[in-house]
């Protein structure tokens, strides 16, 4: 090899080695939802104090067009709506956020997630009776911004546009409202600590092309039979699909089984393929209280952060994820 090529290789090697690898992001999934009812202001504050880099807000619209922070378009699995407004369900028996004004929503008490039979989904989580309430997107923006101002930290926002096609069927354009809110706060900016996520690829393309959004976008990946959106996730996971995502978004949010084979506990290759396409990889969701029996947290994290080099992780337990990334014991 000519001397010039050798020197060039050494220079490139030093440059790459000399760059500190970006620290993976700890994304508090619905706040510190492993400890306090999801998406409440209390859960966001706890996530903040545990050292999360980003706090997630799932967004749905109220009857009077206020963006509220709730995971579902329904209220019945996280609030006492059935006691408060027993008659206000639709023919399918469900209580829809969009059928209630903000003033009505604010009278509801938020509790730990239950199934439709009222049984706690995560039985070891918060069992107290404190008075938690539904938060608006604006309240979470204010809370986190104020904490940032006072602490000097830059904890970011990670909103998800929930069911945009369903909102459209109800005559609402949730994307326009989320984007207007970001712009009002000067957050439609690729250099700000904000990621917008959606399961709906058509909607993310719309954000970039039709609505002219500048903010960073993340395409969530599910399974086609979840019917989260009319998006074909089998296609998006291919090299061609990932390249298409990269034309509008900065990253993907796959669920854990899409990056780690559940049988062999080895990489599926998706994280590597996404990186090759120039996409960040932010899998969901780390839940300390629902790990498979034979998997320890440290093993899972070593695979995700070590071998797969993921760029961020949605975590119900931000403190545990932060601890691991600080090289402290987690098991
Ligand atoms: O947004 C990442 C992850 O939250 C997607 O799943 O159902 O928890 O919103 P979900
Ligand atoms: Ca979400």
Q: Please write the tens of the pLDDT for every residue from 294-316.
A: 899 999 999 999 999 999 999 99
**pLDDT the model gives residue 19:** 52
Cβ neighbours around 168 below 10 Å, total: 13
Distance of CA 64 from the midpoint of ligand 2 (Å): 23
At 135-150, the pLDDT tens digits run 999 999 999 999 999 9
First-last CA distance in the chain: 49
Question: 């062999």: which residue's tokens?
Answer: 264
Task: Please tell us whether the domain made up of 12-72+134-325 is placed in CATH 3.40.50.300.
Answer: no
Of 25, 28, 29, 54, the one to substitute when testing ligand 1's pocket (max ligand atoms within 8 A of C-beta) is 29
Q: Is the pLDDT of residue 65 over 70?
A: yes
- Catalytic residue at 185? no
Q: Mean pLDDT in the chain?
A: 94
Q: Is the pLDDT of residue 3 over 50?
A: no
Q: Is the pLDDT of residue 18 over 60?
A: no
**pLDDT the model gives residue 293:** 85
E strand spans, 6-144 = 25-28, 54-61, 67-69
Residue, of 201 and 11, whose pLDDT is higher: 201
Nearest-atom index, ligand 1, CA of 162: 9
Q: Given CA atoms 71, 200, 307, 294 in this order, what sign does their dihedral have?
A: positive
Distance of CA 5 from the midpoint of ligand 2 (Å): 48
Distance of CA 6 from the midpoint of ligand 1 (Å): 47
Greatest Cα pair distance, the chain, in angstroms, is 82
Cβ neighbours around 301 below 10 Å, total: 21
Is the C-beta atom of 213 inside 6 A of ligand 1?
no
Of 58, 77, 122, 228, the one to substitute when testing ligand 1's pocket (max ligand atoms within 8 A of C-beta) is 58
At 19-39, the pLDDT tens digits run 556 899 999 999 999 999 999
At 218-260, the pLDDT tens digits run 999 999 999 999 999 999 999 999 999 999 999 999 999 999 9
Contact predicate 34/125, CB 8 Å = yes
Cβ neighbours around 275 below 10 Å, total: 16
Q: Is the pLDDT of residue 6 over 90?
A: no
Distance of CA 212 from the midpoint of ligand 2 (Å): 23
Burial of residue 176 (number of CB atoms within 10 Å: 0-12, 13-18, 19+): middle
Is the C-beta atom of 254 inside 6 A of ligand 1?
no
- The residue among 281, 285, 104, 69 whose CA lies nearest residue 178 is 69
Is the C-beta atom of 197 inside 6 A of ligand 1?
yes
| Neighbour-count burial for 99-132, b at 16+ CB within 10 Å, e otherwise | bbeeebbeebbbbbbeeeeeeeebeebbeeeeeb
* Local structure of 114: helix, strand or coil: strand
Which residue stretches of the chain are H helix? Answer: 3-18, 41-49, 81-84, 102-105, 137-151, 164-169, 174-184, 201-209, 233-236, 239-245, 256-259, 270-276, 297-301, 318-325
At 163-174, the pLDDT tens digits run 999 999 999 999
At 87-130, the pLDDT tens digits run 999 999 999 999 999 999 999 999 999 998 999 999 999 999 89
**pLDDT the model gives residue 116:** 85
Please state the separation of Cα 216 from the chain's center in Å. 13
């Amino acid at each position: 090899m000519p001397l010039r090529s050798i020197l060039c290789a050494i220079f490139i090697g030093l440059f790459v080695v000399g760059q500190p690898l970006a620290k993976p992001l700890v994304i508090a999934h619905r706040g510190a939802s492993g400890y306090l009812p999801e998406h409440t202001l209390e859960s966001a504050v706890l996530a903040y104090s545990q050292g999360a880099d980003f706090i997630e807000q799932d967004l749905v619209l109220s009857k009077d067009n206020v963006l509220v922070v709730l995971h579902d378009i329904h209220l019945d699995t996280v609030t006492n709506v059935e006691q408060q407004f027993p008659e206000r369900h639709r023919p399918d028996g469900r209580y829809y956020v969009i059928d209630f004004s903000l003033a009505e929503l604010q009278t509801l008490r938020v509790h730990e997630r239950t199934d439709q039979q009222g049984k706690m989904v995560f039985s070891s989580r918060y069992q107290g009776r404190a008075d938690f309430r539904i938060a608006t997107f604006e309240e979470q923006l204010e809370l986190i911004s104020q904490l940032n101002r006072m602490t000097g930290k830059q904890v970011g926002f990670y909103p998800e546009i929930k069911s945009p096609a369903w909102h459209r069927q109800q005559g609402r354009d949730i994307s326009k409202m989320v984007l207007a809110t970001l712009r009002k706060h000067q957050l439609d900016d690729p250099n700000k600590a904000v990621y917008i996520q959606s399961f709906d690829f058509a909607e993310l393309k719309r954000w970039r092309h039709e609505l002219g959004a500048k903010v960073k976008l993340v395409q969530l990946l599910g399974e086609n039979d979840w019917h989260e959106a009319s998006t074909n996730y089998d296609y998006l996971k291919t090299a061609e699909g990932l390249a298409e995502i990269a034309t509008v978004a900065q990253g993907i949010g796959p669920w854990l089984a899409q990056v780690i084979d559940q049988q062999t506990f080895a990489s599926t290759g998706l994280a590597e393929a996404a990186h090759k396409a120039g996409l960040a990889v932010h899998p969901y969701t780390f839940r300390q209280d629902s790990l498979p029996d034979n998997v320890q947290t440290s093993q899972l994290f070593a695979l995700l952060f070590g071998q797969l080099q993921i760029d961020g992780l949605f975590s119900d337990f931000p403190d545990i994820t932060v601890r691991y990334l600080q090289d402290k014991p987690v098991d």
